[in-house]
Structure 1
Amino acid sequence: MIQIRDVAWRAMTGYDMDAVNAIAGRVHPGFFEAPEVLAEKFQLYRNGCYLFEVQERPAGYMLSHPWKLGSLPALNALLGQLPDDLDTYYIHDLALLPLARGVGAAGKIVSALTKHAVAMGYPTMSLVAVNGSVSFWEKQGFQVEDRPELSEKLSAYEAHAEYMVKRIA
């Protein structure tokens, strides 16, 4: 693990959205989501949104919220509201600039969100793994779930996108 001083996750604020959009554009250029789509995730569930800073400069973010197991929010689409029958904690996006990788930041925020999901009573966490990240998510306790009904939505992310679930209760 790389040692960098002065790094921390903190709760995201509305003032961070320009930084979030800039990081998203650099980290996920093939997965464009409009600024209003990213902002809506923050507005719908602020308790799941964090900014990672290196020497007080934005270097990554996490967007997450409760959701319905076995379903996916469409990429680059407004949700309007969270579903009524929430039963999983969904990690929508974890993005880190290259300078923030290898310092343990991703594992720390996933661990913190797992504790949050347990405290909120969710039996699972779920996500879509992209950019060859399946092995990282497996190390965090997630497993690929074969859900043929999600194939169309998964292919909108990328050809090798995988739906993954972590059982926590």
Structure 2
Amino acid sequence: MFSFRTMQASDIPAVMSIQEQVYAPQLHEEEAVIRARLAACPQQAWVAEDADGVCAYLFAYPSRLGQVTPLDGDFQPLAEADCLYLHDLAVASRAAGRGIGPALVRHKLQRAGAAKLRYSALVSVQDSQGFWSRLGFEPEEKLSAPQASNLASYRIPAVYMVRSLDTLASA
């Protein structure tokens, strides 16, 4: 069993530990960056908990379709957003394979759809494109030059992916 709740500052040590377990070292973001993201958009940062504590997290924020957050970049939530940008999803090694990641994403997408956002977007890294495709995301290659540069900031193969929130029933 697991449950979701909004992230608190006291969860940051667990988030940092999960990030270290899941991501290649060149993708690790500093604790100050993580704390700034939580402060910038606290209602969009969620964790999953099981009997042993925080076992997954998801950072998101309201954005515009076609805008890519660079690695280590600040969140810039937009009042006139049309897109929920999913910046970072990670599940602790001990909780892998239990469906927590997809459940956390579906939870956020349902809330985004209820908030009248039309899209969700993300950057897929570490060969996660298949995971995101199963959740209805598709690669989008048409990016402006500045946004393509943001995508390149990941310094590893990275794919910008988008899904319409009109298709939530198929997630």
How high is the TM-score relative to the length of structure 1?
0.88
- Maintained 8 Å contact 2:86/2:120: yes
Q: State the match for 1:164 in structure 2.
A: 161
| Identical residues among aligned pairs (%) | 27
Distance 1:73 1:164 in 2: 12
Secondary structure at the counterpart of residue 157 of structure 1: coil
Gaps of 5+ in 2: 167-171
Alignment partner for residue 49 of structure 2, among 48, 53, 72? 53
Q: State the match for 1:39 in structure 2.
A: 35
Alignment partner for residue 15 of structure 1, among 10, 17, 24? 10
Q: How does 1:34-113 map to 2 (within 5 A)?
A: 34-79=30-75, 81-113=76-108
Secondary structure at the counterpart of residue 153 of structure 2: helix
Gaps of 5+ in 1: 1-5
Structure 1 residue identity aligned to 2:3: A
- Maintained 8 Å contact 1:130/1:158: no
Distance 1:105 1:158 in 2: 28
Q: How many residues align?
A: 163
How high is the TM-score relative to the length of structure 2?
0.87
- Provide the alpha-carbon RMSD of the alignment: 1.7
| Structure 1 segments (4+ residues) deviating >4 Å | none
Secondary structure at the counterpart of residue 161 of structure 2: strand
Structure 1 residue identity aligned to 2:134: K
Q: Establish whether residue 154 from structure 1 lines up as the match of residue 160 from structure 2.
A: no
